[in-house]
Amino acid sequence: MSVSEGFERVVIRFNPFGVESLRNSVRKQALGDLAKARPVKYGVSVFGDVIRDDEDMDSAADRLCSEITHNVAGGDRMTVTTETRLRERGYALHEAVPPEKHYLVGGSDLAIEPDLDSLAEEFQDRRRNNPAFKER
C-alpha cells in the first residue's frame, strides 16, 4: 500500500457533470464565500487521493468512495479522472478541506472563474456508477 515517488492522484466528482450545472456550482461556491466574508474561490468541488502502488485508477476511486461517502452526500453517478488529465486541460487542483480529501478544480488562481467547457467534457466522458452509493 505504499505510494510511488512519482505519484498520481485519482479525482472524483459526484453528479451533476454538465457545463451549466458546473457553472451554477462554481457560482454558488463563490456566493457562499461572499456571504461568509471569505476570499472568493471559483472552483468545482471534487475529492482526490493518491493512487497507491497496488491500485489502478478505478480501484483507487472505489477506495476513495468508500472512505468519504459516510461524510459526504455522494450521488449514484460519479466521474473519475486524474490530476494529470486535469492539468493537461489547464486546470489545477486546490486543497479545500474540510471535509478530508476535498479539493476545488479551477485555474491557477481561484479568484477567477475558470472555463468550464473542457472540464465538463472531461467529466462527461468518464462517468460511472458510484460503488459506495446507498439509497437513503
How much helix, strand and coil, in percent to the nearest 5, is found in the chain?
Answer: 30, 25, 45
In the chain, where the domains are located: 9-129
Q: Which residues make beta-bridge pairs with 47?
A: 12, 102
Cα angle for residues 102, 1, 88 (degrees, 5° grid): 50
Q: Which helix (H) or strand (E) holds 34?
A: helix 19-35
pLDDT confidence band for 87 (50 / 70 / 90): very high
Beta strands in the chain (DSSP E): 9-14, 44-50, 77-82, 92-95, 102-106, 127-129
User: Chain-centre distance of CA 136, in angstroms?
Assistant: 22
pTM: 0.87
Helix (H, G, I), strand (E, B) or coil at 80: strand
**Per-residue model confidence (pLDDT) at position 3:** 43
Coil, strand or helix at 54: coil
pLDDT at 74: 63
